[in-house]
Amino acid sequence: MRSAGLICVSLVFLLGIGCAREYLGWEQLISNQTTIEKEAVIEDDKIEDKNPVYVAGMETVEQFGNCAVTMNKSGQVTRLSLPELEGNEAALKDALFRGRAEAMEALDGYGGAQLIPSLETVFGATKPFNDGLYAGIEMSMQYGVGEWGGKQSFLEALDGALAMLRSECAGDACDHIDAARVHVLSGLTLGGAEVEVPAELAAAVVDTVANFQSNPLFARPMGFYNWSSDLQQIFMQDRFFQNYLEDSVLDPEAAATGFGKFVAITVALQSDVSLASGYSYIMGLYEVLTNPYAHFSPRGLMSYVEGVASLDEVDSIGSAFAADNPELGTPCGPRFALFPSSKTKETVMYEELYCNSSPPSDVTIIDVFINQIRSGEIDLAPDADSGWYDYQTYALETLLVPENGPESDHLMLTAAYKKKLIDTFKSILTQNRETHIKQADIAIGMGAAAPMITEQVDVYPRFVSEPFPTFYLRTARAYRFLAAALEERLRADFLSLTGRYRADGSMDDVPLLDALQAKARLLYGLYLLSADALGMERELLEDELLAYPEADSIAEANGWLTAWRTDEDMLMDPRVIVPVALDGASGKAIYWAVIGVRVLKAQADFHEGYEPEIIALAPTGGDVSKCEFRSYVEKHYWLLTEKQVEVRIPAGVNPPSREELRTLCDDSETEEAIVEALQAWQG
């Protein structure tokens, strides 16, 4: 198992660089951690902090019973709270359901509140699509589509180029080429390719494959990659090429060979224009599909290498590269990989804080991450080079710092509701990361009223989904970013010939680009509807309105809202588990898991003095001939939420698959029992 210490050792042997703790400001880090590991203080919002701006003429019409009520909601502030469940509803307080269908069935026996899609539910309708989109791209990228011949063909061609170089080499250069061929052939073998391994390399390939497979934390396929044997092989192939494990870190005499193989691969890429183009095509995908790379690749060596003669200068190339990239020699610093994993803000944070120490046993990493975001130490705003995962994470920011969202002046949240939003953040982040499970870097550290002549109208906060417009808008923009990035990076026919991949091995006929645009329309529509419900001004950009007209987006959202309870994606089991970090000192891996669905009742009411302005009331049906405003009242909504936990499992055992986690949860039932069973997991 490769620990931070082993990585450091390998770099000492390879490039002669020290790994002093002082480099990271060790003492300062320790003092800072005392603060960020403390439980956050969460308080009710105060009305004096709200500053809604009244906008004359900003009118909206909502239906209450048989009356259409025209209002100006721009000066409105809505309070959201989570009252205690009492009476027969108290049985729902700690109930943990296997999925949303089971939770909805349980709610059939309870009245007094309206069930609306929660943020988790809306996300639940997108998560299976996200998995299928990623899986479809993986299949087409691996085996080829249209003009693209496939990643497997690229790797076979790379081995062919290395074999050609082998006929031109002498001495140590040949060893580097052989090491590179063993590396490439091992990955191809794991990927299920039928390759002819030279007799002199066969034993090394067998040993390399066996060594990788003996480390289940990195080698065992997880998430949607278990949908088919093809996806499992793609997972193992690409995880191998992320180079988490390296025999040479234990053998100082072989360290130069470990680096030399990447020099050899770089030389091979330089020797063939089409090969270099194929590599750029592959590398151009995952840095937008997930995020920019966390580690170095042969792309970074191109300017240091020139032809096969470079294989006689591996040591000097390593020294020159290290001088230009001093982070290579730091603890938990980047390594070399043919297909590097992608950095994420949570793993960057983990390695900065826990590179030289283990996180305390009573500290959960996700809470530390949340504290850092809430304090402003971590900025979730995407960078110029961010990928889809950063955009997805940014969409969640408003759940942790709702006061920073445009809707803040229109919402008053109790401390209990804010804690609910933190739980939502945890659940969705875990599930987003599970979609990117192969590519995301694993950190290593040390009702209608009765007909009447006159109808009295009670006005209440009327929501069609949990009202957090910024989440919907940023998620829509994340889909839009992904569609544009994929169109730019992939060949013209890739997205038109690739569909969403399904767990049964089928692929949808609907092209991915069309499916992506439909998801973006849904999220834009939910943004518009929730913004109107809160009295917010719409903040869509001109190019967004051209690409996604408001009427089309609202129609898409209303169509989904009429049938969301039977949405097959939303009804899929949300329980997943994903590794986040490896604590080298304890030998345990840190996992995040969603273990079930819970039910909450939310109360929404207008803060006194900040109610919507009633402009007009008009009858719309029944025998009603006149509508009269009576009062502002509260409204209760049922929300389906999820429970996320953080557990530590020995790194040497097989990670739980989705199915194994779900079986364990079914057998254990309560949160405490599930956590205990996961902590005792033996694979």
Using one digit for the tens of pLDDT, what is the confidence trace for 195-225?
A: 999 999 999 999 999 999 989 999 999 999 9
Q: What pLDDT is recorded for position 332?
A: 80
E strand or H helix at 543: helix 542-547
Q: What pLDDT is recorded for position 453?
A: 60
Q: What pLDDT is recorded for position 246?
A: 67
Phi, psi of 396, deg, nearest 5:
-85, -10
- Tens of pLDDT, residue by residue over 53-92, are 999 999 999 999 889 999 999 999 999 999 999 888 999 9
The gap from C-alpha 113 to its chain's centroid, in whole angstroms, comes to: 32
Could you tell me which residues come within 8 angstroms of residue 270 by beta carbon, excluding any fewer than 6 positions away? 276, 302, 305, 306, 307
Give the CA diameter of the chain. 100
How would you classify the pairing of strands 576-583 and 78-81?
unpaired
Whether 241 contacts 151, CB under 8 Å: no
Percent of the chain with pLDDT over 90: 77
Whether 149 contacts 278, CB under 8 Å: yes
Could you tell me which residues come within 8 angstroms of residue 86 by beta carbon, excluding any fewer than 6 positions away? none
Q: What pLDDT is recorded for position 168?
A: 83
CA angle in degrees (0–180, nearest 5) for 208-214-219 = 85
Phi, psi of 437, deg, nearest 5:
-60, -35
Q: What end-to-end distance do the CA atoms of the chain give, in Å?
A: 16
Q: What pLDDT is recorded for position 27?
A: 54
E strand or H helix at 175: helix 172-190
Give CA–CA dist 338/341, Å, rounded.
10
Reference 54, options 29, 86, 77, 20; nearest CA is: 77
Residue 78 Cα distances to 50, 156, 323, 675, angstroms? 11, 61, 57, 37
pLDDT beneath 50: ranges in the chain: 1-26, 247-256, 447-452
Q: What pLDDT is recorded for position 30?
A: 55
E strand or H helix at 349: helix 345-354
Q: What pLDDT is recorded for position 286?
A: 97
Instruction: Enumerate the domain spans of the chain.
Output: 4-35+150-329
Whether 539 contacts 527, CB under 8 Å: no
Reference 290, options 508, 482, 37, 115; nearest CA is: 482
Q: What pLDDT is recorded for position 256?
A: 42
The gap from C-alpha 484 to its chain's centroid, in whole angstroms, comes to: 19
Q: What pLDDT is recorded for position 430?
A: 96
| E-strand stretches of 607-683 | 613-619, 626-632, 635-650
Reference 388, options 492, 485, 283, 514; nearest CA is: 485
Q: What pLDDT is recorded for position 550?
A: 96
